[in-house]
């Protein structure tokens, strides 16, 4: 149980990692057709689960090639220190991602963070060799995403804690409205601003490190970009 009454839900691709893992794999090992799936997703014709499942089926690489590629993917240099700080303060961190569980676990494991809980799409080898299959153990009815971050947020809040989301893009939009505060990067900043969601902008985990104590002691409530917390009087 959280000692502070807070739980952190953290996106992976573009938030913890400095690049999107599946995009980097497709650029290097994707067979023709993955770009059309991406276009259909961006146009709103398919959900991210259908897009990712189709794209993963078009990957053409061995396990050794996959592992070698993942060894080249870097994370935000301040993320390990942020995890250590959060743990020292008694704040649990849960990685919630619409990406690939195997990739996340391999990359985090390289940095001694393989024990972080991860909710993500499951990547498994398929037949014939050098083919891959995506399943989505954290999907939810009525949600087109592979990992329903809204359901993850609701589960965290059901445990009686307040929730902080750290994210950067479209897969975080819905969940941002289900948490108490957001540390937002990139496109998520504009979404939170437009929707009136409590947030502070960050460029990376150096900022998050600095802001975390202020979140826990309540002083972020007075930040100029923050509306009242969820459940507070208007």
Confidence band, pLDDT 50/70/90 cuts, at residue 75: very high
Please check whether residue 39 lies inside any domain of the structure.
Answer: yes
Please check whether residue 228 lies inside any domain of the structure.
Answer: no
In degrees and rounded to multiples of 5, residue 25 shows phi and psi of: -70, -40
Please tell me the predicted confidence (pLDDT) of residue 225.
55
Domain residue limits at 93: 6-222
Q: What CATH number has the domain bearing residue 215? A: 3.40.50.1000
In degrees and rounded to multiples of 5, residue 134 shows phi and psi of: -110, 130
Pairing of strands 131-135, 118-126: antiparallel
Please check whether residue 232 lies inside any domain of the structure.
Answer: no
- For residue range 5-15, list pLDDT tens digits in order: 999 999 999 99
Please tell me the predicted confidence (pLDDT) of residue 23.
96
Confidence band, pLDDT 50/70/90 cuts, at residue 3: low
Please check whether residue 229 lies inside any domain of the structure.
Answer: no
Question: Count of domains in the chain?
Answer: 1
Please check whether residue 193 lies inside any domain of the structure.
Answer: yes
pTM score, whole prediction: 0.92
Across the chain, mean pLDDT equals: 92
- Taking the C-alpha atoms of 169, 174, 180 and 182 in order, what is their torsion angle to the nearest 10 degrees? 10
Please tell me the predicted confidence (pLDDT) of residue 232.
39
Confidence band, pLDDT 50/70/90 cuts, at residue 160: confident
- For residue range 98-134, list pLDDT tens digits in order: 999 999 999 999 999 999 999 999 999 999 999 999 9
Encode 23-50: b = buried (16+ Cβ within 10 Å), e = exposed. Answer: bbbbeebbeeebeebbeebeeeebbbbe
Token pair for 167: 């994210």
């Amino acid at each position: 149980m959280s000692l502070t009454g807070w739980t952190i839900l953290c996106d992976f691709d573009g938030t913890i990692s400095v690049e999107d893992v599946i995009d980097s794999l497709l650029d290097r090992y994707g067979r023709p057709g993955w770009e059309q799936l991406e276009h259909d997703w961006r146009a709103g014709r398919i959900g991210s689960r259908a897009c990712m499942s189709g794209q993963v089926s078009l990957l053409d690489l061995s396990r050794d090639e996959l592992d070698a590629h993942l060894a080249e993917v870097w994370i935000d240099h301040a993320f390990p220190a942020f995890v250590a700080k959060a743990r020292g303060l008694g704040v649990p961190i849960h990685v919630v991602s619409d990406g690939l569980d195997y990739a996340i676990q391999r990359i985090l494991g390289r940095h001694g963070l393989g024990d972080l809980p991860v909710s993500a799409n499951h990547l498994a080898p398929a037949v014939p060799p050098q083919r891959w299959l995506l399943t989505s153990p954290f999907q939810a009815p009525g949600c087109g995403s592979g990992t329903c971050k809204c359901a993850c947020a609701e589960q965290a809040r059901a445990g009686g804690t307040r929730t902080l989301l750290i994210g950067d893009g479209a897969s975080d939009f819905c969940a941002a409205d289900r948490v108490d505060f957001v540390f937002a990067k990139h496109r998520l900043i504009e979404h939170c601003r437009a929707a009136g969601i409590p947030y502070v902008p960050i460029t990376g985990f150096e900022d998050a490190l600095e802001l975390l104590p202020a979140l826990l002691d309540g002083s972020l409530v007075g930040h100029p970009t923050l509306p009242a917390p969820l459940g507070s009087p208007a």
